[in-house]
Structure 1
Amino acid sequence: MITRISITYGTKQILSKLQNRYPDRQLLLLDSSASGDKLALLDVSGEESVFSSPIHYDIKLHRGTTDWQGFINFIYIDNLSPDDQKVFNSKANHFVTTDPMPEGMRSIYFMKEEKNRSNNILLSTWEDAADFSTWKQDSSFKPFVYFLTGQNNYHEASYHFFKPENK
């Protein structure tokens, strides 16, 4: 199992060059927009980063496949009080290790940002975006709702694999 994931952002030209320069690495070109202008390159190799300005995430817990397909979502939660951090850790641990995976979820990762240890990240992969949307309305998501506030610097980023026809 890998213990670290890295991400960087840039243009299609720059990120594609990195993919071509390191063909043996598992570098995934991701698109967060319909216009194809908000691209990220995700390194899921677990090896030392080849990016010049990476963001590293240390994987604390993982369940599910390591096959990166479909829809990808990052939920970021930061700025928790020490007590809230303990509660969040407990809820994330229980969900990742014990609860049944929701319909359509392929994998779930609970991670911490390497440079900002207070930044909690739930990375999930899904069959499609509709399955993710359904989960956010499901009872299995309710333990996280308390943390989804601006006070906790909550935000999300969703991606699909870049397709050249998205130009």
Structure 2
Amino acid sequence: MISQLSITFGSKDVLEQVQAKNPDRPMLLLETTTSGEQLALLDVSGQESVFASPVHYDIKLHRGTTDWGRFVNFMYFDNLSPDDQKVFNSKANHFVTTDEMPEGLHAIYFMKEEHNRSNNIILTVWDTSEDFAVWKRDERFKPFVYFQRPLNNYHEASYQSVEQDN
């Protein structure tokens, strides 16, 4: 299992050039599912980053496959109090290691940002955005609802794979 993921952002041309210069690395070119053309390149090799401006995530827990060709969601939970951090760690650990995986979920990662250890990230890989939306209304998501407060700087980003030019 890899212990770290790296991500960077930029234009399609620049990100495709990075991929072309590193053909031996598994990287996923992603586009946001929200409005606007916001692109990201996710390096899932677990190796030292080749990005000029990377954001590194240390993987604490992982469950599922390593197939990345689907809908990808990042949920960020920051500014947790020490007590909330303990509870969050427990809930994330339980979900990743013991809960039954929801329909359409292929992988879940519980991560910490390398340079901001208080930033907790739950990365999920799904068949479709609809499967993700169903999970967020499901009983199994309820343990995380408490942490979705503005005080915790909760935000999320959803992506899908970009068709590449050949």
- TM-score category, normalised to shorter length: over 0.9
Written as runs of structure 1 = structure 2, the 5 A alignment for 1:12-91 is 12-33=12-33, 37-91=37-91
Q: Give CA deviations for 1:46-73 in whole Å, capped at 9, x if unaligned.
A: 0000001100000000000001121000
Tell me how far apart the structure 1 counterparts of residues 53 and 66 of structure 2 sit (CA, whole Å): 25
Q: Percent identity?
A: 66
Tell me how far apart the structure 2 counterparts of residues 98 and 33 of structure 1 sit (CA, whole Å): 29
Tell me how far apart the structure 2 counterparts of residues 135 and 128 of structure 1 sit (CA, whole Å): 11
> What is the CA-CA distance between 1:37 and the residue it aligns to?
1.9
Q: TM-score, normalised by structure 1?
A: 0.96
> What is the CA-CA distance between 1:164 and the residue it aligns to?
5.2
Q: Does 1:149 pair with 2:149?
A: yes
Tell me how far apart the structure 2 counterparts of residues 32 and 144 of structure 1 sit (CA, whole Å): 23
Residue of structure 1 equivalent to 2:95: 95
> What is the CA-CA distance between 1:163 and the residue it aligns to?
2.1
Residue of structure 1 equivalent to 2:7: 7
CA contact (8 A) 2:34 2:158 kept: no
> What is the CA-CA distance between 1:33 and the residue it aligns to?
4.1
> What is the CA-CA distance between 1:131 and the residue it aligns to?
0.1
Which letter maps to 2:80? Answer: L
SS in 2 for 1:118: strand
Written as runs of structure 1 = structure 2, the 5 A alignment for 1:116-155 is 116-155=116-155
SS in 2 for 1:119: strand
Tell me how far apart the structure 2 counterparts of residues 105 and 149 of structure 1 sit (CA, whole Å): 24
SS in 1 for 2:121: strand
Tell me how far apart the structure 2 counterparts of residues 35 and 145 of structure 1 sit (CA, whole Å): 25
Give unmatched runs, 5+ long, in structure 1. Answer: none
